[in-house]
Structure 1
Amino acid sequence: MTNLAANLAATAARVPDRVGIRLDSAEVSWAALHRAAATVAAQLQAAGLQVGDRVSLILPNVPAYPVAFYGTLLAGGIVVPMNPLLKAGEIQYFYEDSGACFSFVWPDFADEAAKAAAETGTRLVVCGPMGPAEGQFDASECSGAPVLEPVERADDDTAVILYTSGTTGKPKGAELTHVNLHRNAQRSASDIMQIAEDDVIMGCLPLFHVFGLTCGLNTSVQRGCTLTLLPRFDPAKAIEMFGRDRVTIFQGVPTMYAAILNHPNADQADTSSLRTCVSGGSAMPEAVMAAFEKKFGCQILEGYGLSETSPVASFNMPDKPTKPGTIGRAIPGCEMKLVDVDGNDVPPGGIGEIAIRGENIMKGYWNRPEATKEAIPDGWFRSGDLATVDDEGYFTIVDRKKDMIIRGGMNIYPREVEEVLYTHPDVLEAAVVGVPDDLMGEEVGAAVVLRPGATSTLEDVQTYVKDRLAAYKYPRRIWLLDELPKGPTGKILRREVRPVEAS
C-alpha cells in the first residue's frame, strides 16, 4: 500500500503524544491530527466521495489544512490545493478543470468560493481550526467509524493536482503521485535537512504551494517532528517564533530572508536553536545569503525545483561543499542535464535548458496529453530554466528561458544584472525586465525598491551597475517602486513588473 497518508498513520502510532502541528499557543499531537483526519475521511466517504475524486483546499496555514489534506488522502481522494486569495472566476476555473466535487474552505474565503461553487456544483465544507465546522456534514454523514487506515492506492496513482502559474495561457494541473511525494519528502528530510523527531520546522511557506507542502508538511509527517505554522508571513512574527518555538529549521524564499535580515528587530532575534535554513523558489542574491549567515550563525542551503518535480530536483547538500550562487547538485533518485533547443546535450561550459528525470517527475498535466508531451518529449522534463553546470555537477541558474532579454542581438540574463543591483548598499529589492525599444528591440529595465533612509538617487544606482557590467547590460531604463509584485510565497513576479516613471 503506497497511499501517502500511511505516513501519518505510522507517525501517530510511533510518537502519538509528540506535538505535530503548532499555531501560536495551539498544539496538536500526531495522534490527535490522525484522529481528526480519519474523521474527515469517514465524513467524505459517507457524503459520497469515491476513490480518485478531487477535493480542493482553500485554506491558509492552519491546523485544518493537514487535517483536510490527509483526510482526503485517507479516503482515497485527490487533493487540489488552491491559493486562498483567488477570486470567484479563478476558483471556478480550477473547480471546473479539476472536477472537484468537494472543497474545504476557510470562512474568510467562503464568499468567493460559494460564487464559484454555484456555477460548478462543487460542495463547500467551511472549516474551523481543526477541520469541517459543525453542521457542514449532516448527522448521517458523521456516524461512520473514522478511517484510520488509508484506502489502498498504487505508486502511480495521483495524490495531488497542483496548478502551475504559467506565464501564458490557463494554469495546468501537474499530477503528482503518491510515490512522487513520498520519495521527495524522504529525500528532503534525510539528504538535505537531516531531520530528526526533535526538530522544529518553521512553516512560513504556504502549504498550498509545493515547496511548503513537501518540505514543510509532508517531511514533518514522515519524520514526526514539529511544524510551527505562520498563516501569513511577517518578518517580525518570524523573528519572534525563532526563539519562542526553538526553531531548528527555517524554510523560505529569498524575499523572506531579506525581510528578516533588514527588519529593525533582527538584532533581537534568538536564533541559538537554528541549525539549517533552506531556500528555493527563486535565486537568492549572494549578498543576502552571506549577510544572513553571518548575522544569524546558520547555514543556508539553496536548491531548486518546480511543481512538476514534486518539487525538489537539486540542492546544496549539508554533507558536501556548498557553492553559494548555485542550486547544488541533483538529489538522489533524480538526474539533471542541460539541453539545447533540439534536445541535444550541451557541452561543458555552455548554457542550456535544465532537463530532469527521475522518481520526482510528475505523471503529467491533468487532462492535457499534448502539454504533457511537450513538457516531457523523451522522458526528460523540460524546465524552461537556463543554466550552466560545472565539472562537479553544480548547476547555476542563468535565467528563465522566457525572461532572457535580447538587446540588439545580444543575450542578457536578468539575474546577472539583479545580482549587481543587490550589492548596492541602498537597494532593498530589484527586478530586471526587458522593455520594448524601437532601435534595439529590447532595452534592459530595472525596477528598484530602496531601503528606508536611502540617500542614493536612481542615477547613482544606474551608474553603480554601469561601472560593474559590460556596456550593453546595464539598465538604460530604471524606475522606483514602493514594493515589487510578489506571488503567494513571496517570490518576486518579474513578469508583472512594468515600467513606471522611467528615467
Structure 2
Amino acid sequence: MSLDNQTPPEGTIREWLDARAEAGGRAVVFPETGDELSWTALREGALGFARSLTARGVAKGESVAIIAPNSHEALCAFYGAAYGGFRAVMINLAAGRDAIAYALEHSEARFAYVHPDCNDLFAAAAGEGMTSLPLGGDDEEAALHDVAPTDHALLMYTSGTTGRPKGVVHSHASLLAGGWTTAVAHRLAPQDRGFCVLPIYHINGLCVTVMGSLVSGGSLAMTGRFSASQFWAQAGAAEVTWFSVVPTIISHLLHGKGEPDAECRARLRFGRSASSALAVETQQAFEARFDVPIIETMGLTETAAQILSNPLPPEPRKIGSPGVAYGCEVQIQDGEGHEVPRGEDGEIVVRGPNVMVEYLKNPEATEGTFRDGWLRTGDVARMDGDGYVFVTGRLKELIIKGGENIAPREVDEALYTHPDVVEAAAFARTCTRYGETVEAAVRVCDGSQLDPAQLIEICRDRLGPFKTPDKVHFMAELPKGPSGKIQRLKLADILPPA
C-alpha cells in the first residue's frame, strides 16, 4: 500500500498493518533502551492481543481500554484492538483518577491492557468487573471479527476543561485519513523517521506520528516521555528526520542548554508544532538558534489531528499562521453558517475524511458540533487571500472588556517578546467596571531578574493601555493539559485577583 497525495487511504488499519509487515523493515526504535520493533513484530503483537480478546468473547466494536505510557506494549495494544475490530480507548494517564474512572465507566470497557507501570492507577480507577489482559496468550486459533473502514477504531476523551469529557469516536477510515493529512502536508516518505515524544493517548502523538508512519511507510523513534535535557541526544542517536511537539516544548528547548550535533542538524528536515498557537518570537528565535525550520500546524481530537499546516520550505511559510488546509476543507464562517469574506473574523469549520464519527452516547453534543456537514471548532480566525488561516483565539477564551473583544493571543505575543519568558497566557478576570479585564500568567527562565512591571510596560508599549494586563502573575509552571497546551481558563480560579 502506498501514499496517494490526492486520495485518502482506503481499507482498514488491519490491512495497512498487514501490508507493512509483509514489506518488512523497522517500525519503531526506542532510544531510551536501544530496543527496536519491526513491522512484522508489531503486527504479531497486535494479532496476539486481538486473538486474546476474541477468545474471551469481546464483541465487534466493543470498547477495550489501553492504560499505558508510550512503549512497544502500548503500540501493540492499540494496534491489536483496532486489528481485532474493537474500539481502542486510549486512557489519558495525566487526567487524574476521577477523569480516568469516568472514561472507563462511560466507555463500557470490560477489558483493558494495563502496563505494569499503571497497575496502581488501574486499581484505583477501574470499576468492578473490569479485567486486565496480557498482550499475548494461547489463543492462536481464535477467529477474528471482520473489519470495515467505517467501523469504530478509537475512542479518545477530550480534556473536559469546561465540563465532562466527551468521548470522540473515530473510524478506521478517519484515523488513516488523519495520518494521511500529516504525510501529505510534510511529504513523508519511507526513509523518514519521526520522533514521538508526545503521549499516544493524545491525538497528536497517535495520529500525527503513529498513523503518519503507518500511512507513509516510514518509521518512528519513541520515548516514554519528553526530556528537555535528552531530546537532542535522543534525536541524533535515533537518526530522526522530523519531530512533532507543542509550543511549550519548543520554548523549553529554546531556553535549554542542549544543542543538536552537526549530523543531527543536517538530518532534520523540520520540526512540527501543534496543539496551541506558537508565539512568533519563539519560532524565530528557535530557528535562528538551531537552524531547524518549524512548521506550525493546527488540529483537533475531533479531526484525527491535523487540519491546517504551513508548507515545507522552500514554499512560503507565514509565521504566526498554522497554514492552509491539507486533505480537508476549511472555511471561516459567521454565527449563521455563512462563509465570511477573506480578512474578516469568524469561526473555523472543517469537513473531510478525517472528521470524527460522533461523541459517544452524546447525540446532543454531536448535533451541536456539526452544522450543515461542517464541524465547528470553536476557534476564531481570519483567512487571507492565499488561504492561510490566522487564529485570534477561542470563542470561550475571548476577553470581553467594556464590550470590546480582546484576543488573549495578542497579549501572549507581547509577553513572549521578552527573551526570559518561557510560558505566557493572558486570561479574563471578572470586573465590576468593565465586565472583564485582562491579567496574565508567565513562567520565566531560571535566574531571570525580570520584574512584572517590565512586562506590563512592554504590553503597554505594544498594545496600548486598554489591552495591557492589570497584573502579571509569575508561576513556577502554568497549568497544562495532556498535550502540553496551557489551560488558560483555569488561571482565574487558581490565581489571586489584582
- Equivalence for 1:247: 240
Q: Write the distance in 2 (CA, Å) between the matches of 1:474 and 1:99.
A: 48
1:422 aligns with 2:410: no
Q: Deviations over 1:162-183 (max 9, x none)?
A: 1112332211111111111112
- Equivalence for 1:303: 297
Deviates more, 1:106-115 or 1:377-386: 106-115
SS in structure 2 opposite 1:402?
A: coil
Q: Write the distance in 1 (CA, Å) between the matches of 2:441 and 2:272.
A: 27
- Equivalence for 1:438: 432
Q: CA deviation at 1:37?
A: 1.2
The letter for the 1-side match of 2:324 is R
Name which of 341, 344, 362 aligns with 1:368. Answer: 362
Q: CA deviation at 1:91?
A: 2.3
Deviates more, 1:319-328 or 1:361-370: 319-328
1:124 aligns with 2:118: no
Change (3 A) 1:215 1:326: same
Q: Deviations over 1:261-297 (max 9, x none)?
A: 1112237684231111111100000111111122222
- Equivalence for 2:28: 20
Q: Deviations over 1:184-218 (max 9, x none)?
A: 212211x2222222222111111011111011111
Q: Deviations over 1:21-73 (max 9, x none)?
A: 43431111111111111111111111222211111111111111110011111
The letter for the 1-side match of 2:171 is T
The letter for the 2-side match of 1:122 is M
Q: Write the distance in 1 (CA, Å) between the matches of 2:411 and 2:202.
A: 28
Q: CA deviation at 1:502?
A: 5.6
1:389 aligns with 2:409: no
The letter for the 2-side match of 1:293 is E
1:48 aligns with 2:57: yes
SS in structure 1 opposite 2:481?
A: coil
TM-score by length of 2: 0.93
1:328 aligns with 2:337: no
Change (3 A) 1:283 1:351: same
5 Å matches for 1:75-90?
75-90=84-99
Deviates more, 1:262-271 or 1:485-494: 262-271
5 Å matches for 1:63-462?
63-119=72-128, 121-125=129-133, 131=135, 142-145=138-141, 151-189=145-183, 191-266=184-259, 270-318=264-312, 320-332=315-327, 334-462=328-456
SS in structure 2 opposite 1:8?
A: helix
Q: Write the distance in 2 (CA, Å) between the matches of 1:364 and 1:267.
A: 42
Q: Write the distance in 1 (CA, Å) between the matches of 2:130 and 2:255.
A: 44
Q: Which ranges in structure 2 are unaligned for 5 or more consecutive residues?
A: 1-9
Change (3 A) 1:87 1:457: closer
Q: Write the distance in 1 (CA, Å) between the matches of 2:484 and 2:96.
A: 19
- Equivalence for 2:495: 500
Q: Write the distance in 1 (CA, Å) between the matches of 2:188 and 2:63.
A: 31
Name which of 32, 38, 59 aligns with 1:29. Answer: 38
The letter for the 2-side match of 1:2 is G
Does the 8 A contact of 1:35 with 1:146 survive in 2?
A: no
Does the 8 A contact of 1:8 with 1:222 survive in 2?
A: no
The letter for the 2-side match of 1:50 is A
Change (3 A) 1:66 1:292: same
Q: Write the distance in 1 (CA, Å) between the matches of 2:317 and 2:114.
A: 41
Q: CA deviation at 1:87?
A: 3.8
Q: CA deviation at 1:501?
A: 5.7
Does the 8 A contact of 2:274 with 2:296 survive in 1?
A: yes
Q: Write the distance in 2 (CA, Å) between the matches of 1:406 and 1:283.
A: 20
Question: Identity over the aligned pairs, expressed in percent?
Answer: 36
Q: Write the distance in 1 (CA, Å) between the matches of 2:112 and 2:139.
A: 21
SS in structure 2 opposite 1:354?
A: strand
Does the 8 A contact of 1:87 with 1:112 survive in 2?
A: no
Number of residue pairs the alignment of both structures matches: 485
Q: CA deviation at 1:434?
A: 0.4
Query: What is the Cα-based RMSD across aligned positions, in Å?
Result: 1.9
SS in structure 2 opposite 1:197?
A: coil
Does the 8 A contact of 1:253 with 1:491 survive in 2?
A: yes
Does the 8 A contact of 2:85 with 2:151 survive in 1?
A: no
Q: CA deviation at 1:107?
A: 2.0
- Equivalence for 2:17: 8
Q: Which ranges in structure 1 are unaligned for 5 or more consecutive residues?
A: none
Does the 8 A contact of 2:236 with 2:260 survive in 1?
A: no
The letter for the 2-side match of 1:34 is R
Q: Deviations over 1:225-275 (max 9, x none)?
A: 221111111111212112111211111001111111111223768423111
- Equivalence for 1:471: 465
SS in structure 1 opposite 2:211?
A: helix
Q: Write the distance in 2 (CA, Å) between the matches of 1:226 and 1:494.
A: 35
Q: Write the distance in 2 (CA, Å) between the matches of 1:474 and 1:32.
A: 56
Does the 8 A contact of 2:194 with 2:220 survive in 1?
A: yes
Q: Write the distance in 2 (CA, Å) between the matches of 1:374 and 1:113.
A: 33
Q: Write the distance in 2 (CA, Å) between the matches of 1:231 and 1:104.
A: 17
